Amino acid sequence: MMESSSFTVKELERGLLTDMYLTFLDSFSDYEIPFRLAKDQFVKKFVEKLKIDFDLSAGVFDTSQGLAGFVFTTINEYNGLKTAYNGGTGVRPRYRGHKLVSVMYDFLIPKFIQAGVKQCILEVLVNNTKAIGVYKNIGFTTTTRYKCFKLEPHYKFAELPRDYLIRKVTSPDWACYGRFMDAKTSFLDSKPMIDQNLANETVVEVHFNFECVGYAIYQPALGRISQIAIDPAHRGKGVGKGLVHYLVQTSKNKALTIMNVAAQYKDLTQFFEHVGFKNQLDQYEMMLGL
């Protein structure tokens, strides 16, 4: 526990979920992308899917008013290193200006080092210059620019070409997919995080002559694509379009989204735009080495 003026910083506890939820809603009430989550959705997003590590997450408390801000952390491997991922940072509007995010990281970084964490990762909107400045002052640097897409209602409908079949499988064949997946994923859509969240993911493969030539991993309940790729030898034949159409048909939310496509992969971003996705916003990945 760390005290700073009238604030106290300490680890979060599962018993504080209601306080975390209310603080989350207040913190993002004026955000560019509003979060209107019911409490059960909040629990599903942060506790069940993100699997926040309460011992390595922080809350800053006004000693008389309760929870003023938070940093939600999950731990997993990313690019071969033990990584602390910031799955959410929020400060209630009335407490801004007190450098509470820096205070929480001053509290967390020694704990990360003790736990063997080698790097901290987070994502921030490119136009959120204030937050970017806060993170740079802590020591974070910008590593990757990501594009986030949403499928427009009038996307380019296309059936899967003849002789191609889509099959649902129980788990990803990473050895196979690695042969034609040529884009680096973000932390949330990396192999370790998908393996951790398979209960909420659906995996489908595209087969041609009994061979896997493409795949998609997605969350039908949310319409969120986690990963998608087609073997280069089968690109340009409408296979990707047909696969996207299948995902629309089998998802509850038809307005599919795909987050954090690295801007450097021009062919992939152009594919999404050609099919009918719109680039809604861009984010930076920021990293702090420990």
CATH number of the domain within which 187 lies: 3.40.630.30
- Give domain status of residue 290, yes or no: no
**Both 112 and 168 in a single domain?**
no
Average pLDDT, stretch 237-249?
95
pLDDT confidence of residue 28: 87
Q: Which domain, by its residues, includes 242?
A: 149-283
Asked whether residue 136 is domain-assigned, the answer is no
Instruction: Give the model confidence (pLDDT) of 185-223 as tens digits.
Output: 999 999 999 999 999 999 999 999 999 999 999 999 889
pLDDT of residue 154: 81
Based on the domain organization, do 112 and 154 belong to the same domain? no
pLDDT at position 49, please? 86
163 and 113 housed in the same domain: no
Whether residue 141 is contained in a domain is answered as: no
> Considering the domain boundaries, does residue 35 fall inside one?
yes
Task: Give the tens place of pLDDT for each residue, 15-25.
Answer: 999 999 999 99
Select from 77, 96, 117 the last residue of a domain. Answer: 117
Q: How high is the pLDDT of residue 34?
A: 63
Instruction: State the first-to-last Cα distance of the chain, in angstroms, to the nearest integer.
Output: 21
Work out the mean pLDDT of the chain and round it to a whole number: 93
Whether 183 and 82 share a structural domain:
no
Residues 15 and 109 in one domain: yes
Last residue of a domain, one of 71, 94, 117: 117
Q: How confident is the model at residue 44 (pLDDT cuts 50, 70, 90)?
A: confident
- Residue 211 vs residue 159, higher pLDDT: 211
Instruction: Look at residue 135 and tell me if it is in a domain.
Output: no
Specify the pairing of strand 257-262 against strand 224-230: parallel
Q: What is the tally of structural domains in the chain?
A: 2
Q: Does residue 11 lie in a domain region?
A: yes
Q: What is the pLDDT of residue 5?
A: 57
Give residue 77's pLDDT. Answer: 97
| Residue-level pLDDT at 209 | 96
Q: Do 162 and 224 lie in a common domain? A: yes
Stretch 113-133: mean pLDDT: 96
Residue 140 lies in a domain: no
Mean of pLDDT values over 78-83: 96
Shared domain for 111 and 183, answered yes or no, is no
This prediction has a pTM of: 0.92
**Beta pairing class for 202-208 and 211-219:** antiparallel
Tell me whether residue 105 is in a domain: yes
